[in-house]
Structure formats: C-alpha cells, structure tokens
A and B are shown apart, each in its own frame.
Chain A
Amino acid sequence: MTTDLDQNPRSLLVSERSSFRDLKNRISSQVEQLHLNYKVSLLLPEYSFDRSVPRTRIDEDNCVSLTPKGHLTLSLDKDSFEVLGVEGKPSRFNHRVKKRFVVSVDLTDSCMAPGGRGYLRLLAGLKSRLRLKMDFLLSHHPGGGASLQTLLSRHDWSEHRPEVSRHTLTHLSCPALLTSDLLSCDPHSFLEWLGAAHAHISCGNTSSSFLSSLVCPEPKTALSRALSVSVCGLLLPQDIHRLLQQIRVYLEESHLESWACLTVHGFVDSPVSWGANEHGVLRGGENFYSLLMFHDDVYYLHQATGAHDTCPP
C-alpha cells in the first residue's frame, strides 16, 4: 500500500482555559467571530429545558453569505464564476484543478455605494449574466425589523423561529471533572463523550451491542439526571452572549459544585467561518466551539474545525 492509512484529513482543536473574571479574556471577541451559527446545544448535569432550513452545499453548489460587517462572500463553482465576470480569487482549498472561486465584496467600500463602479458591475453580473437565484436566511436584532420591511416587501418570505428541543437524560455516566483547575480527561475524549451524550448514544460499550463502541473517559461518575437542550436556527452572537450570562447566573446560584457545557455549531455550508476566513467541506464541514463552564467563573474553550478551514483565533 502506498498511502499511510493512519493519515486522516486534518482537523484542528484549539483549547484554552481562562476565567470570565479575567479582564483579558477573549471570550467576547471569540464569540463574535463565528457569525453564522446554526445550532446551540447545552448540557446541564443534575438538571431535569427549523430543521427544515433550505440548503445549498458548499462543495457542490454556489453559496452566498453576508456578515454584519457588510462583507458579502460568494462561493462559486468554475462555470458560475466565469459567467459572472467579477474579480475573485481561487479558493484556498482547490486541489489540482481550480474549480471553486471566492468573490469577496466589502459593501461598505466607497466604490460599492449605489451608482458606484463596483456596485454597477456586480449588479450587472448578477442580474444579466449569471442570474443567480437563492433563498436567503436572514436574522435581525430586536427592534431592527423595520429596516428589513422594505427589502422583504419585494420578495416572498416566511418567518421561522428557532427550534428548541430538550431531553432529560437519565443514568448518564459522565467524566468526573475534578475541579476547575484540572480537567481529568483530554479534550478529544471529552468532546467525543459530549457528542455522544447530545446524540443520545449510550457509552456502555456492551459486548452484545454492535452499534457503538464509544466509551466514557475514565475516571467517571454516574449522573442520575441531566438536561440536554438544543436550539436550531440562524443564531446571532448577541443571542449567544445573552445565553452565556444566563448560564453564569444559574451556576452562581446553584449550590452544587456544578458545571455546564455550551456548544455552538457554525453552518456546515457557510462560505465563511471564524471571521472572514474561507470555509470548505472535504468530508465534514464541522466548525464549532465548546465552552465548559464551572461555577467559579472558570471556563475551558475548545474550538474545532475540519480539514478545509483556517485555524480558529
């Protein structure tokens, strides 16, 4: 065999430990970086709280994203890019042949003002040459709906609310997280266990079961109950901040030496991830961060990406 089967596609896990009380913590900037979040999952131990989103695939179709900073990114395949006729760069993740191109437009730039040179060229390209038609998922801050009305009145639209689902897990074996100073298991095993818990996969690894051989990392304890909540939809960093504050309040008020784990997933098919960096899908397009919080305001942040991604900040 010529290839080494031990080589897996690259995936990155960046871990950091800090505290909310530390003035230099970067948590707010890190939360801000991931603009397009589709799912938030929360696991609360000892607590007993629109999947039908239209989808274009980033490795097959054309995808478009618009960030709050006014950055429009079009991730196009070769034919569409050549027909559109606007300046762009080949994707960083092209392998042998250039087949995916990224057009990045800063809409706050002076030449993109209505009537400007760049604006007219892009408009002509999208209207007469490429005629790109897409469904958009939009989200606005509370109170900002009025400015969207003029835009929405010209198109068909429907309102979706984020889908919330909650499950109470019973008799869950979980890693014994000793104190906030020392995590008893390494980040990879912890995240694997967390994913199994959220997906309701049993970590028993009994000899009669062929479905899963996942195990809970040692040392472990048993929890009589735990609450797993997940929210799906287009979720903004501001919503995540609010949720973080609520969780911190809950952890302070609860008398047990408790912890909570919040995982925020970015869209698999998003053209951008971690700021304005390009994102792609090789075999999986995961880009998420996981925040393990303790009651004394200490947190562990794990940020993970797949093969076609840049390193998270």
Chain B
Amino acid sequence: MSVFMDLNLSFCADKSRLRSLIETAAHLGFSTVAVNYTFEPTAKKKQEIPAPMPITDLMDQLPVVQGRSRPIRVLNRLTVVMSDSSHFRPTAPEYRRFDLLAVQPTSEKLFHVACMTLDIDIICITVTEKLPFFFKRAPINGAVERGVMFEVSYAAAIRDATMRRYTIANATSLMETCKGKNVILSSAAEKPLELRGPYDITNLGLLFGLSDGDSKEAVSSTCRSAVLHAETRWTASGIIRTTKTCSVTPIQQEAPPEESDAPAAKKAKLEDE
C-alpha cells in the first residue's frame, strides 16, 4: 500500500480557511493533498485561468502528518468544467503551473473525448445532479488503458441528502462499467468539517460498489498513480525531463537548458517537487 492522499481540496481565497483545511487533512492522516482550482469558461466573457498560489505564501511550515514524521505534501490542481470541446486547450502555457490536470465533462460526447484523447490525469464525475448520460464500456476502457483516473467526491453527500442520492447513484453506475479500476475518492471539501479520515472513506467506497481492496486503493495507490501520471506528462517517454536554468554567465549569452536524466523508477521518492 502507499500513503493516503486526498487530491481535491477546494481552493478558497480565504487563506486561514485553506490553512485549516490543510492542517485538518494532516491531522486525519493524509500525506499528500492537492488544492483544486476550478475553472469554468463561459462563451460570453473571456476568463483567465487562475494562477496557483505558492504554498510558501500560505503557510511558513507545512504541518506534520499525524502518525508519521514527515510534513504533508501540497500539490496544485486545475479542474476545467467543459461544456464545449474548445474549453480545454491542451497547449495552454498556464496549465504548466499546475501539478495535476482534471476535466469535468458535462455531455456524453465530451466524456468520450476526455477519455480517449485529452492529455489529462483525472476525469471528475458529477455528483451534484443526475448524470445526463450513461457510461459506455469503450471510452472507460480507453481511459483505463491510458492511465486516466475517474474521481468521485463525497463532500456534496455530506452537505445534503439529495446530493447523497445522486452521489451514490452516479458512483454505482460508474463502478458497474469500470469494475472498480482507476477510481479515486476525494473530498472536494470547502470546510475542514467536510473532511473524513482515510479509513472512513474506505468504508464509504463500499457503498459506492467498490470491493474492500479497491476501496482502500482508491485512497492510496490509485491516487499515487495519478500523481505519477501527472509527473510524466512533462517528461519525454516518462524518463527525461528538461528544465531551463535562469542563471546567465558572463561568457554565454543564453542560458543552456539543463538535463536531469535520472530514471524515474530508480530514484527515491520525489519529495520536494
């Protein structure tokens, strides 16, 4: 098993609330969390993709995870709510500032496109309303093969009884088609009270139709696979990554690109990235 992760903590402009969200997550035992910036482009106005807040601005020292001696790891994630296929622009440079990319498709055609072609890590399943389409096996198998994960979030179920019905209904229909593979469970919490501990989420997964082992994996190793998939998106064949150095020496006019080519598999855990 790997460490427990919650890859969906809603971003809010109130820094103290975000800080207490991260502290609660560390107290509950999550070793990695991702702050989720939701972007919903509309046809009328041109909107800018939000820039992620650097974590050093938020808190000086990250809280230590309860029961372990390491501080919690905080990632940045962007979720694009797609109501049209032009809403997700694969080559947008703003996307590079985020560690994880997710989309929330709102129609069957967009779901198919997201599963088969888009270069993303996570596909969010709507939990706040009745699913407008049925899941078909072909796009889901295509997504599983590419390493894209399906996400079900549970905070809506905590807030409201009707949402609870929709969450369970949508989640069970997903599990019937995907057989429990490539599923992650996360909170989408806006307040610290909406977070639950990893073993509680494992139990919740049983209600969604996951088996015991799948349910535990949905909070640990499948999340780890999503994070590793995101890291390899910026590498060539998942092995070599190039970064530009900013230093300009007096001799050279241009800074040469630097190559760090340690194979990802043999390197120890990438903790500071």
Contact = CB atoms under 8 A, between A and B. Distances in A.
Interface of A: 1-3, 5, 9, 55-57, 59-61, 77-79, 82-83, 95-97, 99-100, 282-283, 307
B104 interface: no
A61 B68 contact: yes
Top 5 closest pairs, chain A to chain B, by CB: A95-B213, A59-B1, A60-B3, A9-B212, A99-B221
B46 interface: no
Contacts of B251: none
Contact of B211 (A1, A3, A77, A78): A3
Interface stretch (B10-18, B202-210, B231-239): B202-210
B265 A77 contact: no
Contact of B68 (A5, A57, A83, A97): A57
B153 interface: no
B159 interface: no
Given A1-B209, A3-B209, A77 B2 contact: yes
Contact of A5 (B1, B202, B206, B217): B206
A274 to B, nearest CB: 21
A79 B268 contact: yes
Interface of B: 1-4, 31, 67-68, 172, 175-176, 181, 199, 202-203, 206-207, 209-214, 216-217, 220-221, 225, 265-266, 268-269
Contact of A96 (B2, B172, B202, B213): B213
Nearest to A61: B68
B209 to A, nearest CB: 5
A282 B205 CA distance: 13
Contacts of A3: 206, 209-211
A281 to B, nearest CB: 8
B1 A283 contact: no
13 contacts: A1-B172, A1-B209, A3-B209, A5-B206, A9-B212, A57-B67, A59-B216, A60-B2, A61-B3, A82-B266, A83-B266, A95-B213, A307-B212
B203 to A, nearest CB: 7
Contact of B212 (A82, A100, A283): A283
B31 A60 contact: yes
Given A3-B210, A60-B4, A99-B1, 20 more contacts: A1-B172, A2-B209, A3-B211, A55-B67, A56-B68, A59-B1, A60-B220, A77-B1, A83-B266, A95-B216, A96-B181, A96-B213, A96-B217, A97-B217, A97-B225, A282-B212, A282-B213, A282-B216, A283-B199, A307-B212
Contacts of B225: 97
B199 A99 contact: no
A77 B203 CA distance: 23
Nearest to B207: A5
Nearest to B270: A79
Contacts of A82: 265-266
Contact of A100 (B1, B202, B210): B1
B32 to A, nearest CB: 11
Scoring A5, A59, A83 by chain B CB atoms within 10 A of each residue's CB, the highest score goes to A59
A55 B199 CA distance: 18
Contacts of A282: 212-213, 216
A95 B217 contact: yes
Contacts of A99: 1-2, 221
Given A60-B3, A307-B212, A2 B68 contact: no
Given A57-B67, A97-B221, A79 B269 contact: yes
B260 to A, nearest CB: 18
Nearest to A54: B69
B17 to A, nearest CB: 27
Nearest to A9: B212
Given A79-B268, A307-B212, A60 B1 contact: yes
A85 to B, nearest CB: 9
Contacts of A79: 268-269
A16 to B, nearest CB: 28
A61 B3 CA distance: 7
A42 to B, nearest CB: 28
Contacts of A77: 1-2
B175 to A, nearest CB: 7
B214 to A, nearest CB: 7
Contacts of B31: 60
Contacts of B199: 283
Nearest to A56: B68
B185 to A, nearest CB: 15
A95 B268 contact: no
A5 B176 CA distance: 15
A126 to B, nearest CB: 14
Contacts of B176: 2
Nearest to B175: A2
A307 B4 CA distance: 19
